[in-house]
Chains A and B, each alone.
Chain A
Amino acid sequence: SQQGEEDPQALSIQEGENATMNCSYKTSINNLQWYRQNSGRGLVHLILIRSNEREKHSGRLRVTLDTSKKSSSLLITASRAADTASYFCATDGANSKLTFGKGITLSVRP
């Protein structure tokens, strides 16, 4: 079953705007990760946030985690056309297994 569920399912913004994507999950976690997938490619790890962290930054990325609400958000600031991709959240589980959501399709218009 799906652990992480992202919303919205699709997001279209203008270059330079910020993009916010949300992820909710059901069970307790040790950490939560965000990945990006460009069309026809494999997934690329973006950022990991531990369960005892509330916010983390990496370049233009900002991730928050609210374990009481079992939710996370990924903010991409000053978006670029090259940010166009699908974004997935992933939570850890038993047997070192990651469970991925269905993903959010982000389109950044030049």
Chain B
Amino acid sequence: GAGVSQSPSNKVTEKGKDVELRCDPISGHTALYWYRQSLGQGLEFLIYFQGNSAPDKSGLPSDRFSAERTGGSVSTLTIQRTQQEDSAVYLCASSFEPGVRNIQYFGAGTRLSVL
């Protein structure tokens, strides 16, 4: 159907609270990616899912960050005990052919502000 959907679009939270960010990929896309983008910066890779498995979690900054994907579809990125340095835009992307052309389709992102 439509493109990659992320929710919420904006999230303001207090330091120390947990947050959950949701990504709904394009139907039929087997690969799903999470990135973080700080103001004026490029994209920092966080984690990659192929189906429900995460072959590459190398980008998760600390053990406060975790992600899961269920049913080969929706993914949730959870940040526990948020810190101010977690403030950024979190982007999700999905891909139909990750091992071939790997063209990624992005959601509009979740802007996270930790006060």
Real binding pair: yes
B48–A97 touching, CB < 8 Å: yes
B71 interfacial by beta-carbon distance below 8 Å: no
A80-96: which residues lie under 8 A (CB-CB) from chain B?
Answer: 88, 92, 94-96
A42–B99 touching, CB < 8 Å: no
A37-94: which residues lie under 8 A (CB-CB) from chain B?
Answer: 40-45, 48, 88, 92, 94
B4 closest partner in A (C-beta): A42
Most buried by A among B41, B99, B103: B103
Contacts A42-B4, A43-B91: A99 and B103 contacting too (C-beta < 8 A)?
no
A96–B45 touching, CB < 8 Å: no
Alpha-carbon separation in the docked complex, A33 to B98 (Å): 13
User: Which residues of A does B touch, CB under 8 Å?
Assistant: 2, 31, 33, 40-45, 48, 88, 92, 94-103
